[in-house]
Amino acid sequence: MDTVSWGVAAPAIGAAFAASVVEVVEAFTIVLAVGTLRGWRPACAGTLAALAVLALLVIVLGPLLDRIPISALQIAVGVLLLLFGMGWLRKAVLRSAGVIPLHDEAAIFAAESEELSHQAASKDRSLNWIAGLTAFKAVLLEGLEVVFIVIAVGAGRGLLWPAALGAAGACVAVLVVGVLVHKPLSRVPENTLKFGVGVMLSAFGVFWTGEGLGVEWPGHDLMLLGLAVVFLVAGMGLANRLRQSSMEAKP
């Protein structure tokens, strides 16, 4: 792999890793709640079933990507990345400015545990089934986002394997830390990660969409890093300005 390719491969691996850490931590919190309350059998069964569905989706949909013309693929993936990445960046800016509260894994763990306990009181016989389904839903829904991110950052330039490697690395990292800590990973700097991922996905979105529409970016692949810096500086500036205006508005 030459240096120009690394200019795109490294952000693809980094974006897939960071985004996957956020999603896997969210899924891990719910699986942990299920495992702690109802045992690891339904938690693992639900998780494995969801992973099987996700693998099936990738196996079925993956080869279809090769049949789509590259410019159409770049526009489609670029627009989806812009919608997804700008949404994340908007939320991360608002959280960083203190406008909306930070994501709290400990609170989610408590809420999920309470929900399962409540269901236990009303439907005891089918509780293992409900617990397994809860784990299945969590892993499937968060996993769908991981699959989308891997495809989106990887498909535009044949970087599916590096992006998948980043996502797999995130799964292993969260699992290893989670097994060692054995409680919700509430100390993961989630908003910082989301900020970074929003920046990278937005940069990829502008880059792919532009390329699909015939833009020849100056510096070619390295422009991706330039766009990321622009989004990062703009996002931090916006968060700073909103934080300051919030403080001025307080009596």
Residues 6+ apart with CB under 8 A from 55: none
C-alpha 154/C-alpha 150 separation (Å) is: 6
- Closer residue to other proteins in complex, CB, 137/168: 137
Q: Which one of 127, 154, 202, 204 is in contact with other proteins (CB under 8 A)?
A: 202
Q: Which one of 30, 97, 131, 188 is in contact with other proteins (CB under 8 A)?
A: 97
- Closer residue to other proteins in complex, CB, 93/200: 93
C-alpha 139/C-alpha 29 separation (Å) is: 10
* Residue 20 near residue 171, CB atoms below 8 Å: yes
Q: Which one of 91, 103, 111, 225 is in contact with other proteins (CB under 8 A)?
A: 91
Q: Which one of 52, 55, 68, 100 is in contact with other proteins (CB under 8 A)?
A: 100
Q: Which two tokens stand for residue 190?
A: 């989630």
Instruction: Write out the binding residues for other proteins, residues 40-79 only, by CB under 8 A.
Output: 75, 79
- Closer residue to other proteins in complex, CB, 23/105: 23
Contact residues toward other proteins (CB under 8 A) are 75, 79-80, 82-84, 86-87, 89-91, 93-94, 97, 99-100, 133, 137, 140-141, 144-145, 148, 202, 205-206, 209-210, 213-218, 227, 230-231, 234-235, 238, 242, 245-246, 249
